[in-house]
Amino acid sequence: MKKNVVVLNCGSSSVKFAIIDAKTGEASLTGLAENLGNADSCMTFKTQGKKQQGDLVANANHAQALKAIQDVIASTGEKPVAVGHRVVHGGERFKEAALVDNSVLAAIEDYASMSPLHNMANLKGITTAQAAYPDLPHVAVFDTSFFQQVPQRAYLYALPKKLYEEHGIRSYGFHGTSHQFILDSSASLLNKPVSETSIISAHLGNGCSVAAIEKGIAHDTSMGFTPLEGLVMGTRCGDIDPSLPGTLQAKLGKSVSEINDLLNKQSGLLGLSELSNDCRTLEEAAQNGHEGAKLALEVFCYRLAKYIASYLIVVPSLDAIVFTGGIGENSSYIRSTTMAYFAHLGFSINNDENLAKRFGTGGNIAHECSSKPVFVVATNEEWVIAAQALTFA
Ligand code: ADP
């Protein structure tokens, strides 16, 4: 029997929604309400393979969007047994998903000081959905939980220790639900129990992160106090010299929030290429000789390879390197360019398999003589959220 869970990912100006059968991962509905608070707010959804436009007023707010989503859910005739909410920051308290009650709501609000845009939007999504579905259990599933077993030597910054103790300044890690899914899928591909599976997983979407997972437990990850640290991303810079924000503020006469905007929204692939944050556009432009696009892709792959290489020491029982996310699942160019850095360590890619793995087709892209497999796996964060929510239904 189906165990349908409504999965909500409420952002500052959008709500992503789905009905997922938590047993199989199958989605009977997926959709997106976006540009909330703007004149061009709109909603699209897909059910039974058909894409449709939803009914959403101009300047719709979150409550109006959730009401419209509730109507779409009702029209499918599916009967949800729980609502799973993606919550970005769960601090050190939430080592796993939590049934929402007043103390959980208060904690999510508390952690908003570390992730203001995300957590406040997540909170709004939860309280509005609670009013819409008062009889269903609401479950908060945190991006950070998967990394709560990372050892202190990996999560502490070398700053005065008081900053950690008094203000929670440490690395938390994000994309946890995706890395969890990749771990579970890799265990299936390797035919091993999850607790015996060791991988380095690279989630490469608009945001990008790498996780070092030894015997089923995350030991390190590239995102830090916020999702800005680590890899080169679509518009985020990832690692830079920590003195740069201050220097840039002084040199450019910009405010703290303007510098934050520059690092989060104008950097990464977009900033380097001066063309686009979209990997497809950059690959095409690079093929046509665009120097900025070539450079941006080169820096992206080099940084990624450097992170994966550093995690080879964190994951001594390595079973496989795994790529996922829009770029990881589709870009044979990024995968082969990155893995070329590992040729002297015995890794080798099968070009035909690499080219064939896209649009949801996953599997091993390593050559048979490669020292370890290299997997491509299509991530399914919604399924992880649904499965965790079901445990409370
Ligand atoms: P998000 O993090 O917003 O969920 P996605 O996981 O959808 O993002 O990834 C978006 C990225 O995936 C974009 O950079 C896009 O260019 C890239 N991408 C999607 N399809 C392809 C493709 N066929 N080849 C290369 N890159 C792709």
Measuring from atom 13 of ligand 1, which residue has the nearest CA?
278
The H or E element that residue 218 is part of is: strand 217-221
Say if residues 245 and 259 touch (Cβ distance below 8 Å). yes
Report the chain's terminal Cα–Cα distance, integer Å: 14
Burial class (CB in 10 A: 0-12, 13-18, 19+), 360: exposed
Question: Which among 8, 182, 6 has a CA at the least distance from the CA of 88?
Answer: 8
Name residues whose C-beta falls within 8 Å of residue 240's C-beta, 6 or more positions apart in sequence.
263
Residue with tokens 């909410």: 85
* Centre of ligand 1 from the C-alpha of residue 331, in Å: 8
Structural domains of the chain in order of their starting residue, each with its CATH number: 4-142 (3.30.420.40), 191-381 (3.30.420.40)
- Its pTM stands at 0.95
The string of DSSP codes covering 25-64 is --EEEEEEEESTTSTT-EEEEEETTEEEE----TT--HHH
Q: What is the per-residue pLDDT for 242?
A: 98
Residue of 88, 177, 304, 327 with the most ligand 1 atoms within 8 Å of its CB, for mutation? 327
The H or E element that residue 340 is part of is: helix 332-340
Residue of 279, 281, 338, 358 with the most ligand 1 atoms within 8 Å of its CB, for mutation? 279
Residues with a CB atom less than 6 Å from ligand 1: 205-207, 234, 278-280, 283, 325-327, 330-331, 358
- Hey, which residues are catalytic here? 143
CA distance 18 to 5: 8
CA distance 14 to 33: 5
Closest-lying ligand 1 atom to the alpha carbon of residue 277: 14
Name residues whose C-beta falls within 8 Å of residue 118's C-beta, 6 or more positions apart in sequence.
11, 12, 87, 88, 89, 112
* Centre of ligand 1 from the C-alpha of residue 325, in Å: 7
Q: What is the per-residue pLDDT for 36?
A: 93
Residue of 283, 331, 335 with the most ligand 1 atoms within 8 Å of its CB, for mutation? 331
Closest-lying ligand 1 atom to the alpha carbon of residue 207: 2
Closest-lying ligand 1 atom to the alpha carbon of residue 206: 2
Confidence band (pLDDT; 50, 70, 90) for 113? confident
CA distance 30 to 106: 29
Each residue's pLDDT tens digit, 355-366:
999 888 899 999
Each residue's pLDDT tens digit, 129-151:
999 999 999 999 999 999 999 99
Q: What is the per-residue pLDDT for 360?
A: 85
Closest-lying ligand 1 atom to the alpha carbon of residue 333: 25
Each residue's pLDDT tens digit, 24-51:
999 999 999 999 999 999 999 999 999 9
* Centre of ligand 1 from the C-alpha of residue 330, in Å: 7
Each residue's pLDDT tens digit, 164-223:
999 999 999 999 999 999 999 999 999 999 999 999 999 999 999 999 999 999 999 999
Give the three-state DSSP class for 367. coil
CA distance 67 to 235: 32
CA distance 152 to 392: 30
Statement: residue 116 has pLDDT above 80: no
Report the percentage of the chain scoring pLDDT > 70: 100
Give the three-state DSSP class for 99. strand
Quickly count: other Cβ atoms within 10 Å of residue 181's Cβ.
26
* Centre of ligand 1 from the C-alpha of residue 153, in Å: 33
- Burial pattern 244-255, b for ≥16 Cβ within 10 A else e, equals ebeebeeeeeee
Each residue's pLDDT tens digit, 254-292:
999 999 999 999 999 999 999 999 999 999 999 999 999
* Centre of ligand 1 from the C-alpha of residue 324, in Å: 10
Question: Which among 310, 335, 323 has a CA at the least distance from the CA of 221?
Answer: 310
